[in-house]
Amino acid sequence: MAAIGDNKDNVVVPKMKLERMLSMKGGKGEGSYANNSQAQAQHARSMLHLLKETLDLVQLTATDDVPFVIADLGCSCGGNTIYIVDVIVKHIVERYEASGEEAPEFSAFFSDLPSNDFNTLFQLLPPMANNGGGSMEECLASTTHRSYFAAGVPGSFYRRLFPKKSVDVFYSAFSLHWLSQVPEIVVESRSTAYNKGRIFIHGAKESTANAYKKQFQSDLAGFLKARSVEMKSGGSMFLVCLGRTSVDPTDQGGAGLLFGTHYQDAWDDLVQEGLITSEKRDNFNIPVYAPSLQDFKEVVEADGSFHINKLQVFRGGSPLVVSHPEDAAEVGRALANSCRSVSGVLVDAHIGEQLSEELFSRVARRATSHAKELLEQLQFFHIVASLSHACR
């Protein structure tokens, strides 16, 4: 059977092209991020005590002339980011009240790549209290309106996004494991790091995994350099990304089970059925790297701009949220939707929407037959970092 949907362009997705196309799946459909981010919400809520510890380290200014600025980097398009910003604002207000100072106005910037579905995100935002014309006390007293001014900032967080010394708190969750690009040598057939037969690095060769590690550390270094310029004196940063407990970078833990088992097998199905060529599969790689604690720490210490308040591995739990765990079909759909919500846009661009439907239906079928195993074994671990400007 002849391969279909097998155009030869975009064999290696360059960095700028990935920035323009990468996003969580927008809209409000079954496979959208908005409807498949319940696990992220649960994991974020379980870390609120760590977030608040970081917020307690932020230096408060005794003036209401300058707004307190919060930036969520990698905000995506669901309601989780709105919930977190509310938590941050309320906690900072409580700190001001405890010190006897009047809280300033608040400004929140929601930032992600230009391809992010900002329309869906902004539709989820509650209206500004009293149309923005009331006092901050009136805004904060409202339970159905927001108490901060909101704006979207499109762009890669691996580069500068804000003016110098303009942000008090940076928050980024479940985003920094996304690389700025797939390392070119991973999809170069003549390279020793060529990831032949795979669409992820879980279980890959050491040279392939090391290429991913190098890309992650280069990206994180760029991220820290940009934030060190943009953060106000006395500001702090709370970062969460997928992590792993193994020192072996070819063992990607929960990310490996999500992208490297049934998802991988579904791609192999398309090849074996002649729907795509093996080269087409091999030229698709998930641009994700789950670092170890040491991978992360090395970059922060080499940069030197930030003091590590806390750096730990946190057990987040399963990415699968199902109402009926005994329903294998529901578990299968949940895994397929989870994969699709975070990588579906890339798959659509690589093999087209028709084959994308075929792919994710196969993911669902394969996951359904392993539902009990998935519920027992699929666990995510996160790297959690609390950072403040280092004293110079």
Express each pLDDT in 341-363 by its tens digit: 888 888 988 899 899 999 999 99
DSSP 3-state of 366: helix
- pLDDT at residue number 28: 52
Range from 17-26, 52-61, 252-261, 297-306 carrying the lowest mean pLDDT: 17-26
Average pLDDT, the chain: 85
Residue 134 has pLDDT above 60, yes or no: no
**Angle at 44 (CA atoms; ends 41, 49), nearest 5 degrees:** 140
Report pLDDT digits (tens) over 119-130. Answer: 888 888 988 876
Confidence tier at 143 by pLDDT (50, 70, 90): low
Dihedral angle computed from the Cα positions of residues 242, 248, 252 and 257, in that order, rounded to the nearest 10 degrees: -150
DSSP secondary structure code for residue 367 in this structure:
H
Asked whether the predicted pLDDT for residue 96 surpasses 60, the reply is yes
Asked if residue 4 is part of any domain, the answer here is no
Report the candidate in 2, 27, 24, 5 with the shortest Cα–Cα distance to residue 284: 5
**Residue 3 placed within a domain:** no
- On whether the CB atoms of residues 170 and 73 are closer than 8 A, the answer is yes
Least confident of 78-82, 171-175, 325-329: 78-82
Number of structural domains, the chain?
1
Q: Is the pLDDT of residue 32 over 70?
A: no
CB 385 within 8 A of CB 310: yes
Residue 17, pLDDT > 70, answer no
Alpha-carbon span 133 to 136, nearest angstrom: 9
Of the listed ranges 2-11, 70-79, 331-340, 368-377, the one predicted with least confidence: 2-11
Give the integer Cα–Cα distance in Å for 347 and 277. Answer: 15
Percent of the chain's residues with pLDDT above 90: 57
Q: Select from 152, 17, 144 the least CA-distant residue to 77.
A: 152
β-bridge mates for residue 239, sequence order: 172, 385
Residue 7 lies in a domain: no
Residue 5 placed within a domain: no
Structural domain containing residue 85: 15-389
Q: What is the pLDDT of residue 222?
A: 96
Look at residue 180 and tell me whether its pLDDT is greater than 50: yes
Q: Give the pair of three-digit tokens for residue 224.
A: 């820290």
Output the pLDDT for position 20.
56
Please state which of the ranges 2-11, 81-90, 112-121, 153-162 shows the lowest mean pLDDT.
Answer: 2-11
Which range is most confident: 116-125, 162-171, 338-347?
Answer: 162-171
In a domain, 8, yes or no: no
HSE-CB at 87 with a 13 A cutoff on CA atoms is: 22
User: Is 134 among the domain residues?
Assistant: yes
* Average pLDDT value for residue range 96-102: 92
Task: Select the more confidently predicted residue: 317 or 265.
Answer: 265
Domain CATH code at residue 232: 3.40.50.150
Give CA–CA dist 150/312, Å, rounded. Answer: 31
Name the nearest CA neighbour of 258 among 210, 318, 215.
Answer: 318
Most confident of 8-22, 123-137, 357-371: 357-371
Any domain includes 6: no
pLDDT-derived band of residue 376, with 50, 70 and 90 as boundaries? confident
Evaluate if residue 324 carries a pLDDT over 70.
yes
Instruction: Tell me the DSSP string of 62-106.
Output: S-SSS-EEEEEET-TTSSHHHHHHHHHHHHHHHHHHHHTPPP--E
- What value does the mean pLDDT take over residues 126-138? 59
CA 50 to the chain's CA centroid? 18
Least confident of 12-26, 81-95, 291-305: 12-26
* Average pLDDT of the residues in 123-145: 62
Task: Identify the top-confidence range among 202-211, 220-229, 348-357.
Answer: 220-229
pLDDT of residue 95: 96
Band of residue 61 on the pLDDT scale cut at 50, 70, 90:
confident
- Position with higher pLDDT, 316 vs 225: 225
Strands 306-317 and 380-389: antiparallel
Q: For the residues of 198-254, what is the DSSP string, one character each?
A: -SSSTT--HHHHHHHHHHHHHHHHHHHHHHHHHEEEEEEEEEEEEE-S-S-TT--HH
